[in-house]
Structure 1
Amino acid sequence: MKKVEDKIKEAQEIARQVEEALTKGNWEQVAPDSPYLHEEVGIPERLHENIKLHDSFDTEKALRTFISATRPARRFPVLYKYVAAVACFLIFGIGYYLYQSTSSSTGKTELMAKSAYLILDDGRQVDLSRQVQLDYNGTRIINSDAGKVSYQKAQDSPSTSPNKLIVPEGTEYSLQLSDGTNVHLNAGSTLVFPSTFDNASRVVELSGEAYFEVTHSGVPFIVKSNVMNVKVLGTTFNMTAYPGDPTATTTLLTGKVAVTCHTPSDTLGQTTVLTPGLQACFHVQENILKVDSVDTAERIAWTRGEFAFEDVELGRIMTIIGRSFALDVVFDNPELKDIKCFISIQRDKGYNEILKILHLATGVKFKKEGNEIRVYK
């Protein structure tokens, strides 16, 4: 207990130092060796505003509330004392709000509300909510209870019949392709792939989001989507290409990839090559391709069952939460979509707890009505 009290006192002292630094206009003196503090805390002027408005704020209570409501801080390259300070700042000026809901269910029941399924080339549907072992066109399809279906080449076959894995909103699923490549699909995603790859190409089509661990081969592995194509030989990367989203992204963890982006009216497209730690982001309406360094751990947090957002608009956050729990989201005021925040919380906490944390971080309110989440002030 003394250790916790010491950390609270340390956080209070850091908060005092930050306020003093901001008052004097010397933000850099707070953490001269930590460029990440700016990203963790946010806009200095906004933080200063909050501090001045809440001089009598109970930082000890705020820190206890934050720690009890969320998991321990993620693996950011920031010293503990600054994370503790940020925990206090997150709660400044925000009253606790009991989320109104007509449903009390939480956890994995919400996440796994629907089952993934396969569609084979003859139109047959294979339910993946049960164990499956199926010999089909020279391929053995095996589905266990571990949330993963695998394609194993059982014999030489000229057939490369197309298959489709559909992962509805509210669930996730993993797939092992016949070449050993592993694919983890996020909620509301679809992957079209051949039962076996031939010797000339390895091509799949993605709608949604997936994390790929591509088996190395001299045959290129190509992921196609409506606006972005990725070509690799063997690597790990995350790709997001949901129809209707304003952006499509590819984030590279290891190896090297070539990314080509295009719109229906732009047949030439734009191409870039990524090295580890870079993300290609294609803005569809503007037809602009941007490449930036990113926190790859945050970008693939969903594969660890975690929501992790840094300075992300609430509209984007709620789109992801809606897909993950198969819920519709409606904003009373479109301006609320532009509010930015950062949170990190395990997805199996359930949407009730996640929305409580979002309220703490933004002051925005949420109400569940049927299958719809209403967002309002």
Structure 2
Amino acid sequence: MKEVEDKIKKARGIAQQIEQALSNGDWEQVAPDSPRLHEEVGIPVRLHENIKRHDSFDTEKALNKFIAATRPKRQLSIFYKYAAAVACLVMLGIGYYFYPTTEATISPSHLPAQSAYLVLNDGKQIKLNQQMQMDYNGLRIINTNEGKVSFQHDKEVPSASSNKLVVPEGTEYSLQLSDGTNVHLNAGSTLIFPSIFGKDARVVELSGEGYFDVTHSNIPFIVKNKSMDVRVLGTTFNMTAYPEDLMVTTTLLTGKVAVTCHSQTDSTTQTTILTPGLQARFQPHEGVLQVDSVDVEEQTAWRRGEFAFEDVKLGNIMTIIGRSFALNVTFDTPELQDIKCFISIQRDKGYEEILKIIHIATGVNFKKEGNNIRVYK
């Protein structure tokens, strides 16, 4: 019992340091000597709400004061890192002692991820689970041990052929196209691309989520989807277009892109131009297009192996976690999907650790059976 009391006392002490740091803006002075602090990263917008679960002091005014004093400079990245880190520390320092050990406990096992694979023009499938190099129709296909496959050609290829990279749920994979463009595909995604590009346009088709670092050229690079096309010359952007999602998004990091959206109910289209820091969100069935400023670090956190959600509904969070770990998620009631929270944690912590933190932050419980996760109150 004394050990529990000591943990609670320590957590409250850290929380008081946070309150003081947020009040005077002197965040750099807060650095508790804890491994958890240096392991966790995050976003602090709802930090005060999580801390209030364990103590009664009011941090909302201080938090808003600190954010107002430091925006828009990207120096907030350090603040984000330590703010949510300590929030997790506070929650973990107390919460783990009271986390249910019955149905809500997730057994420490990781599901084996399926290998990404290529489908070549003749239908041949190549699993990308080992290092390999092969010549195919004038091309050299090279797969490394670092999760990246590339298409290279030294001489003029007789004709372009269509290929597909399939990335199943539970894994990620990178591709270097013949023009040097790099694409990183998130779990449950596919990219259809030619072995070489033509002289008029460089066109690929995306289903799922992809991070594109496009090699600059006078030949336009176009990412197509049934609901949204993105046209660039050379830039870095993130596109999310899962067939089952109600919204398609494009987030621009560098350069400039033209986004054209296609309605699913009629033949109308809408076009907008994005500059860095803007995100286009399109609802195909309603034909609604919105453009807003976003935190690109949060939107592309998955590229760094992180989950970062700020004031996001639990239903959306669990959809992403389900894809990332090849899990089937069901909710006992629709109301549970609307619970909002913030969470930021490294993906390699595993889904068991992630679900524990969600439980502590929201109070919902999880039950695991095989690769099925049931969410209940």
Q: TM-score range by the shorter chain?
A: 0.7 to 0.9
1:233-312 equivalence runs, <5 A: 233-312=233-312
**Deviation per residue, 1:27-68 (Å, 9 max, x gap):** xxx57999xxxx834398x679x56x9549xxxxxxxxxxxx
**Deviation per residue, 1:215-254 (Å, 9 max, x gap):** 0000000000121110000000000000020111101000
1:11: which partner in 2? Answer: 15
CA gap 1:102/1:351 in 2 versus in 1, 3 angstroms: closer
Aligned-partner Cα distance in 2 for 1:243–1:142: 30
Give SS of 1:322's match.
helix
TM-aligned CA deviation for residue 355 of structure 1? 0.4
Give SS of 1:163's match.
strand
CA gap 1:75/1:344 in 2 versus in 1, 3 angstroms: farther
1:80-95 equivalence runs, <5 A: 86=87, 95=98
Aligned-partner Cα distance in 2 for 1:31–1:290: 37
Number of matched residues?
Answer: 334
CA gap 1:288/1:373 in 2 versus in 1, 3 angstroms: same
Aligned-partner Cα distance in 2 for 1:43–1:104: 28
**Deviation per residue, 1:154-174 (Å, 9 max, x gap):** 320231100000000011100
Aligned-partner Cα distance in 2 for 1:344–1:97: 22
1:69: which partner in 2? Answer: none
Q: Which runs of 5+ in 2 are unaligned?
A: 1-8, 28-42, 58-74
**Deviation per residue, 1:118-163 (Å, 9 max, x gap):** 0011111111112221111221111111110000013202311000
2:44 is aligned, of 40, 44, 54, to: 40
Q: Does 1:96 align with 2:86?
A: no
Give SS of 1:223's match.
strand
CA gap 1:322/1:244 in 2 versus in 1, 3 angstroms: same
CA gap 1:302/1:161 in 2 versus in 1, 3 angstroms: same
TM-aligned CA deviation for residue 76 of structure 1? 3.2
> Is the contact between residue 343 and residue 358 of structure 1 (CA under 8 Å) also seen in structure 2?
yes
- TM-score w.r.t. the length of structure 2 is 0.80
> Is the contact between residue 97 and residue 359 of structure 1 (CA under 8 Å) also seen in structure 2?
no
1:362: which partner in 2? Answer: 362
**Deviation per residue, 1:11-35 (Å, 9 max, x gap):** 31654899xxxxxxxxxxx57999x
Give SS of 1:76's match.
helix
2:177: which partner in 1? Answer: 177
Aligned-partner Cα distance in 2 for 1:171–1:47: 31
Counterpart residue type for residue 360 of structure 1: I
1:316-335 equivalence runs, <5 A: 316-335=316-335
Aligned-partner Cα distance in 2 for 1:176–1:17: 45
> Is the contact between residue 329 and residue 373 of structure 2 (CA under 8 Å) also seen in structure 1?
yes
Aligned-partner Cα distance in 2 for 1:104–1:224: 40
1:25: which partner in 2? Answer: none
Aligned-partner Cα distance in 2 for 1:120–1:281: 32
CA gap 1:204/1:79 in 2 versus in 1, 3 angstroms: closer
CA gap 1:81/1:317 in 2 versus in 1, 3 angstroms: closer
Give SS of 1:245's match.
coil
Q: Does 1:105 align with 2:99?
A: no
Give SS of 2:77's match.
coil
Aligned-partner Cα distance in 2 for 1:8–1:263: 52
CA gap 1:258/1:134 in 2 versus in 1, 3 angstroms: same
CA gap 1:7/1:334 in 2 versus in 1, 3 angstroms: closer
CA gap 1:115/1:55 in 2 versus in 1, 3 angstroms: same
> Is the contact between residue 140 and residue 152 of structure 1 (CA under 8 Å) also seen in structure 2?
yes
1:132-143 equivalence runs, <5 A: 132-143=132-143
> Is the contact between residue 138 and residue 159 of structure 1 (CA under 8 Å) also seen in structure 2?
no
**Deviation per residue, 1:266-292 (Å, 9 max, x gap):** 323111110001111112332111111
CA gap 1:8/1:83 in 2 versus in 1, 3 angstroms: farther
- TM-score w.r.t. the length of structure 1 is 0.80
Counterpart residue type for residue 143 of structure 1: N
Aligned-partner Cα distance in 2 for 1:203–1:212: 13
Q: Does 1:346 align with 2:350?
A: no
Aligned-partner Cα distance in 2 for 1:154–1:235: 25
Q: Does 1:76 align with 2:77?
A: yes
> Is the contact between residue 11 and residue 93 of structure 2 (CA under 8 Å) also seen in structure 1?
no
Aligned-partner Cα distance in 2 for 1:167–1:319: 16
Aligned-partner Cα distance in 2 for 1:333–1:230: 37
Give SS of 1:142's match.
strand
Aligned-partner Cα distance in 2 for 1:209–1:128: 19
Aligned-partner Cα distance in 1 for 2:128–2:17: 54
> Is the contact between residue 104 and residue 367 of structure 2 (CA under 8 Å) also seen in structure 1?
yes
2:208: which partner in 1? Answer: 208
CA gap 1:84/1:205 in 2 versus in 1, 3 angstroms: closer
> Is the contact between residue 226 and residue 243 of structure 1 (CA under 8 Å) also seen in structure 2?
no
2:166: which partner in 1? Answer: 166
Give SS of 2:193's match.
strand
